[in-house]
Amino acid sequence: MVKTNPGHFFEDFRLGQVIKHATPRTITAGINVLYTALYGSRFAVQSSDPFAQAIGYRRAPIDDLAVFHIVFGKTVPDISLNAVANLGYAECRFLAPVYPGETLSAQSEIIGLKENSNRKTGIVYVRSTGFRQDGARVLDYVRWVMVRKRDEAAPAPGDHVPKLAAALAPDALGAACPPLDGGAYDVALAGSPYRWDAYAAGEKIDHVDGMTVEEAEHQMATRLYQNTARVHFNQFTEGKGRFGRRLIYGGHVISLARALSFNGLANAFHIAAINGGRHVAPLFAGDTVFAWSEVLGKAPLPGRSDVGALRLRTIATKDRPCADFPARLGEDYDPAVILDLDYWVLMPI
């Protein structure tokens, strides 16, 4: 009886299957401390209890992406231990603020299965949900991953590709943002005079600064999230692999880009949703990450006059400043691009 976790292979999944993931996690204020040390995040709402309370939060909430990474980490042993590639995200919604002292757990439902024509792998579509200890949902999102089959001869366990929204609609945003007192939102303390009104669709912002990543940093981050994907930690094995290096967790890149985006988007205090994201190329230790953003669109939230939503596309690069907004080069990406993320943020009006 082998007691180690072999992970699921493609033929092990079933459409509609629900998987309860291991290791619930009590989120303490120390997570915000370490998250700040890893990325240098400076959004006032997540940094200061009095600032957060003045505008309507119970206290400073945990950074949205820390919540995402912690929920994501729990899904890895069951969903992607045998994954070849993480292909995409969709319909990621933040549904409640997470405060220190609360406990998160996660479960996933298999919502799509599609064998690849080589019959060696298949694509698994999964909707993962993060729960608070009282059962309230704090986050859900869809991702799809290419997973190896244990046995090529095994029949495909299903054949269904779910319909996923290209972007969440404005009425799906804002559940994790309490009603805010915009008058109490102090733009000097927040670090920028530019509220929602100041941004226009089509506007591009170079976030200017660069951040070099060290092995110890991304390993500590990924373990902080209790993410066990092997490619991030094991130089002995990865040294013999395709890249010869440990791969940095894609979510680490998202958090770096988000922290860099403070310079130009300081009042975008909350990520309300992630419409989609692509890890265009891998990041390795020693590389320096830069980022820029484009405002894809603006939307008021139905029934709310306190906050408005910006739909952003944030592109991260490695070893390439973004003053000229690198993105596509014809059919392909600029070779320096590592992340292309489409998401909604909220800003005070």
Q: Could you tell me which of 275, 287, 291 has the C-alpha nearest to residue 344? A: 275
Q: Which is nearer to its own copies, 220 or 329 (CB)?
A: 220
CB of 36 to its own copies, least distance (A): 6
CB of 96 to its own copies, least distance (A): 17
Q: Is 221 in the site for its own copies (CB under 8 A)?
A: yes
Q: Which of 230, 244, 305, 328 is in the footprint of its own copies by CB under 8 A?
A: 230
- What residues contact 120, with CB distance under 8 A and at least 6 apart? 148, 149, 152
Q: Which residue(s) pair with 333 in the sheet?
A: 328
Judge whether 45 and 51 are in contact, CB under 8 Å.
yes
CB of 40 to its own copies, least distance (A): 4
User: Which residue stretches of the chain are H helix?
Assistant: 29-39, 44-47, 49-55, 64-79, 187-190, 215-224, 235-238, 250-260
Please state, in angstroms and rounded to a whole number, the distance separating the CA atoms of residues 104 and 95: 13
Q: Which is nearer to its own copies, 10 or 290 (CB)?
A: 290
Q: Could you give the angle at the alpha carbon of 71 between the alpha carbons of 233 and 160, nearest 5°?
A: 100
Q: Which of 182, 191, 282, 297 is in the footprint of its own copies by CB under 8 A?
A: 191
- What residues contact 204, with CB distance under 8 A and at least 6 apart? 292, 293, 294, 295, 325
Neighbours of 169 (CB within 10 A): 11
Token pair, residue 339, equals: 């992340």
Considering only the stretches 123-131, 158-166, 270-278, 286-294, report the one whose residues sit in contact with its own copies under the rule CB under 8 A: 286-294
Q: Could you tell me which of 319, 320, 328 has the C-alpha nearest to residue 294? A: 328
Q: What's at 126, amino acid-wise?
A: V
Q: Which is nearer to its own copies, 1 or 166 (CB)?
A: 1
Q: Which is nearer to its own copies, 207 or 279 (CB)?
A: 207
Q: Which of 172, 211, 327, 349 is in the footprint of its own copies by CB under 8 A?
A: 211
Q: Is 18 in the site for its own copies (CB under 8 A)?
A: no
Q: Which of 84, 137, 162, 219 is in the footprint of its own copies by CB under 8 A?
A: 219
Q: Which is nearer to its own copies, 50 or 300 (CB)?
A: 50
Please state, in angstroms and rounded to a whole number, the distance separating the CA atoms of residues 217 and 39: 9
- Using CB under 8 A as the binding rule, the residues of this chain from 55 to 114 that contact its own copies are 60, 77, 103, 105
CB of 111 to its own copies, least distance (A): 20
Q: How many of the chain's residues bind its own copies (CB under 8 A)?
A: 79
- Using CB under 8 A as the binding rule, the residues of this chain from 138 to 177 that contact its own copies are none
Q: Is 14 in the site for its own copies (CB under 8 A)?
A: no
- Using CB under 8 A as the binding rule, the residues of this chain from 299 to 328 that contact its own copies are 319, 321
Judge whether 280 and 337 are in contact, CB under 8 Å.
yes
Q: Is 251 in the site for its own copies (CB under 8 A)?
A: no
CB of 163 to its own copies, least distance (A): 30
Q: Which is nearer to its own copies, 1 or 153 (CB)?
A: 1
Q: Which of 36, 150, 175, 299 is in the footprint of its own copies by CB under 8 A?
A: 36
Q: Is 214 in the site for its own copies (CB under 8 A)?
A: yes
Considering only the stretches 113-121, 156-164, 217-225, 326-334, report the one whose residues sit in contact with its own copies under the rule CB under 8 A: 217-225
Q: Is 120 in the site for its own copies (CB under 8 A)?
A: no
Please state, in angstroms and rounded to a whole number, the distance separating the CA atoms of residues 307 and 300: 7
Q: How many CA atoms, within 13 angstroms, populate the side-chain half-sphere of residue 124?
A: 34
Q: Which of 14, 22, 201, 241 is in the footprint of its own copies by CB under 8 A?
A: 22
**3-class secondary-structure state, position 67:** helix
Q: Is 26 in the site for its own copies (CB under 8 A)?
A: yes
Q: Could you tell me which of 348, 345, 347 has the C-alpha nearest to residue 64? A: 345
Token pair, residue 102, equals: 């609360």
Q: Could you tell me which of 79, 97, 26, 65 has the C-alpha nearest to residue 250? A: 65
Q: Which is nearer to its own copies, 93 or 320 (CB)?
A: 320
